[in-house]
């Protein structure tokens, strides 16, 4: 998104931005914290998640290089309602609130893009909520695998490798289920020839069948 800014605006950002390296597991911002800027992922990956009072984690989404994170709370003038954690070694730029807001207000096209992005994100969340509320864990896992393939799929031969290393627990926390259930279902999918995996490297073998399961 930043590519569409005027040269002059890019210079402002470049001047003030601060790029930091995060190791796997490092927290970028924390639920309850006050937003003072936004983050743009340059390299690596980040999970945005919420903790319940029982200590269970729900992963809301996964961010990739090029994505903004932390803008919702900043623009909405709230505290962060989720935590951002690096899921691999990452390089992330920090843009101070003042710079970001100033550019947003001076550049109507950018403002437009932002509101559109938030609206799209809201649509996605509404869809996800419906899926979680109404579908079985099996269907949700199939849906999640397809989503991961869409976002992280590397085109290979006949099969498609999902190029992100999530633990079984993290997959469970996206789907909204128990770790053991994910493990059992992944095995089932493997036996049925829908996917293949060795450890954290998961490949989609039969996308069509997986889609049928997801819609079910």
Specify the long-range contacts of residues 75-81, CB closer than 8 Å, at least 24 apart: 75/114, 75/118, 79/31, 79/32, 79/33, 79/34, 79/35, 80/29, 80/30, 80/31, 80/32, 80/33, 80/34, 80/35, 81/31, 81/50
* 3 state DSSP class of 78: coil
Q: Cα angle vertex 145, ends 141, 148, to 5°? A: 135
User: Least distance in Å: CB of 120 to DNA?
Assistant: 28
184's contact among DNA, its own copies, none, with CB below 5 to 8 A by partner kind, is: DNA
Interacting span for its own copies (CB under 8 A) from 7-15, 113-121, 142-150, 162-170 = 113-121
Q: Closest approach of Cβ 145 to DNA, in Å?
A: 14
CA dist 129 and 52 (Å) reads 16
Structural element, H or E, at residue 85? strand 83-86
x/- mask, its own copies, residues 86-105, rule CB under 8 A, reads -------------------x
Task: Pick one of 108, 157, 158, 199: the residue that binds its own copies (CB under 8 A).
Answer: 108
Q: Which residues contact DNA (rule: CB under 7 A)?
A: 136-138, 167-169, 176-181, 183-184, 186-187, 197, 199-200
The footprint of its own copies (CB under 8 A) covers 50, 52-54, 56, 58, 60, 72-73, 75-78, 81-82, 105, 108, 111, 114-116, 118-123, 125-130, 132-135, 176, 215-216
């Amino acid at each position: 998104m930043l590519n569409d800014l005027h040269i002059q605006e890019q210079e402002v950002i470049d001047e003030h931005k601060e790029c930091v390296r995060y190791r796997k597991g490092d927290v970028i911002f924390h639920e309850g914290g006050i937003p003072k800027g936004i983050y743009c992922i340059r390299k690596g990956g980040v999970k945005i998640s919420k903790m319940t009072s029982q200590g269970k984690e729900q992963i809301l989404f996964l961010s990739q290089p090029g994505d903004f994170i932390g803008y919702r709370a900043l623009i909405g003038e709230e505290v962060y309602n989720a935590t951002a954690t690096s899921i691999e070694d990452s390089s992330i730029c920090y843009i101070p609130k003042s710079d970001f807001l100033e550019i947003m207000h001076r550049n109507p096209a950018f403002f437009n893009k932002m509101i559109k992005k938030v609206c799209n994100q809201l649509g996605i969340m509404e869809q996800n909520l419906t899926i979680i509320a109404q579908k079985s864990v099996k269907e949700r896992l199939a849906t999640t695998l397809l989503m991961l393939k869409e976002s992280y799929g590397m085109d290979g031969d006949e099969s498609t490798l999902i190029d992100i290393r999530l633990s079984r627990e993290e997959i469970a926390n996206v789907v909204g289920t128990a770790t053991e259930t994910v493990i059992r279902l992944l095995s089932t999918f493997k036996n049925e020839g829908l996917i293949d995996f060795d450890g954290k490297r998961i490949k989609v073998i039969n996308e069509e069948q997986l889609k049928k399961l997801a819609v079910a």
